[in-house]
Amino acid sequence: VTEQLIRRRAEHNNMEITTLEEISLHQQDIEKIEYLDKWCRDLTILYLQSNLIPKIENVSRLKKLKYLNLALNNVERIENLEGCESLEKLDLTVNFVGELTSVECLKKLYNFKELYLTGNPCIEYEHYREYVIATLPGLKRLDGQDVERSERIIAIQDYANIKKSIEKQQEEYAAKRAAEKSQEERKNENKPGFDGRWYTDINAQTNAGDSNEEKYENDVDSNNENDKPNKSFWQDKMPYTPEARKATHEQLQKERQEDQSNKSSDTQQPKRQVRLKTEDGRILNVNEAKIDFQLIDDEESNNIVLDVACYKYLDTSLIDVDVQPTYVKVTIKSKILQLVLAEEVNPDRSEAKRSQTTGHLVITMPKVSLMKRNITVHILIDKSSTSSILYIHRCRPEYIEPIT
């Protein structure tokens, strides 16, 4: 728990933590409750579910605390709540509370009315409900069910025998937990990986005379070595213990970090460069934007029209048009659409318009005129003929033959 985390979760209180009355710190990978009793003395509601908290501590100074949610944690004992004078509701759903007699610390809380222990080992004890009801005389609801007056009377009448039975079952569970802890310690000592068998043993490879098939199998095995620890972890059967839950969380965190590192390495790869022309200077057709278009040769108006299907709500400032005599280039959000033209056009007289209805970009490019192509029209009159006949020759100046 850090001050920065608390301020970030106190946005509803203008980031002020001293006057904070409610805070949610769920799914924050918290392993210890600390500083809240110093920084947030006015807390009335505290959500700490879905973390890795093994012990209830550092909350006794929260005199105004009414509701404490510690569901889905690793709590094994109810403790250190005697100072929470205003506590009304405690949620310990799906924890590991096996010491049921620890509920006696709630006995002196005058305002305490509701307790949730669903999903804990202690609910498997015989006479579990009767013991809790008899121990906490002010309790109104247990595990979501109202406490009836009749069942409280029956539980109090046989309280001595019920308590002995609970203590005996509690001792059996404590011995079981001790065995689980020792087994977990031995498992960690013999954990695969410490003997160096999670990598390909080069010395164990066969001699150079091995067949190609065997070499291929060895290569495949070596490529899968990195996945072995993760696969074996999820395939192994694990007990339902606080240690197993913590190990699962650490494994998830490890795999998440590996995924992030793989993604970051992928993003660091150099971006592929789009080639717009060949080495000898020939322009290429490129559609990096992968956008639909139509290139129309309008012979009637002597124009080449390019219709680009731009997105309707795309800002025009993100579009750039470059018309050259032999090609046209349209840049849309840094993506290039370049097309080579079949005929030469006049860039100075070209125009680009954007449709307000469809968003399409229409570029009209006039073809080069006869004069622009240096085509000369020569009219020759044959004077030898009785009638005036016109001969029209259209050719470039360099191809005009002298008239004799």
pLDDT above 70 covers a percentage of the chain that reads 77
Tokens representing residue 107 in the block: 């006995």
When pLDDT is averaged across residues 20-39 and rounded to a whole number, the result is: 91
Confidence at residue 76, expressed as pLDDT on a 0 to 100 scale: 93
When pLDDT is averaged across residues 233-244 and rounded to a whole number, the result is: 76
The type of residue at 196 is G
Tokens representing residue 21 in the block: 């009355």
- Asked if 350 contacts 325 with a C-beta cutoff of 8 angstroms, the reply is no
Tokens representing residue 183 in the block: 């087994």
pTM recorded for the entire structure:
0.57
**What span, in angstroms and rounded, lies between the C-alpha atoms of 323 and 344?**
11
Give per-residue pLDDT as tens, 319-368. 999 999 999 999 998 899 999 998 899 999 999 999 888 989 999 999 98
Confidence at residue 323, expressed as pLDDT on a 0 to 100 scale: 92
Confidence at residue 181, expressed as pLDDT on a 0 to 100 scale: 86
Strands of the sheet containing 114-116, edge to edge, are 22-24, 45-47, 67-69, 89-91, 114-116, 141-142, 145-146
User: Is the per-residue pLDDT at 269 higher than 70?
Assistant: no
- Asked if 38 contacts 59 with a C-beta cutoff of 8 angstroms, the reply is no
Give per-residue pLDDT as tens, 82-132. 999 999 999 999 999 999 999 999 999 999 999 999 999 999 999 999 999
**What span, in angstroms and rounded, lies between the C-alpha atoms of 64 and 86?**
5
User: Is the per-residue pLDDT at 9 higher than 70?
Assistant: yes
Q: How many CB atoms lie within 10 A of CB 75?
A: 21
Phi and psi at residue 280, to the nearest 5°: -90, 10
User: Is the per-residue pLDDT at 396 higher than 60?
Assistant: no
The two beta strands, 145-146 and 141-142, are antiparallel
Q: How many CB atoms lie within 10 A of CB 27?
A: 12
Tokens representing residue 312 in the block: 């309707």
Q: Name the residue with higher pLDDT: 387 or 235.
A: 235
C-alpha dihedral sign at 6, 7, 11, 14: positive
Confidence at residue 299, expressed as pLDDT on a 0 to 100 scale: 85
Q: Which H or E run includes 167?
A: helix 159-189
**What span, in angstroms and rounded, lies between the C-alpha atoms of 397 and 402?**
11
Confidence at residue 180, expressed as pLDDT on a 0 to 100 scale: 86
User: Is the per-residue pLDDT at 224 higher than 70?
Assistant: no
Confidence at residue 138, expressed as pLDDT on a 0 to 100 scale: 92
Average pLDDT in the chain: 81
Structural domains of the chain in order of their starting residue, each with its CATH number: 3-176 (3.80.10.10), 286-366 (2.60.40.790)
The type of residue at 67 is Y
User: Is the per-residue pLDDT at 208 higher than 50?
Assistant: no
Q: Name the residue with higher pLDDT: 254 or 205.
A: 254
pLDDT bin (cut points 50, 70, 90) of residue 173 is very high
29: region left, alpha or beta (phi > 0 left; psi from -120 to 50 alpha): left
Maximum average pLDDT range among 192-196, 225-229, 352-356: 352-356
Give per-residue pLDDT as tens, 277-296. 888 889 999 998 888 999 99
Phi and psi at residue 107, to the nearest 5°: -65, -35
User: Is the per-residue pLDDT at 393 higher than 50?
Assistant: no
Tokens representing residue 204 in the block: 């164990």
Residues 6+ apart with CB under 8 A from 359: 310, 311, 312, 313, 314
- Please choose, from the candidates 115, 184, 175, 188, the residue with its C-alpha nearest in 3D space to the C-alpha of residue 147: 115
Work out the angle between the directed axes of helices 128-135 and 159-189 (0-180°, nearest 10): 110
Q: How many CB atoms lie within 10 A of CB 130?
A: 22
pLDDT bin (cut points 50, 70, 90) of residue 192 is low
Maximum average pLDDT range among 196-200, 217-221, 222-226, 298-302: 298-302
Q: Which one-letter DSSP state was computed for residue 10?
A: T
- Asked if 50 contacts 71 with a C-beta cutoff of 8 angstroms, the reply is yes
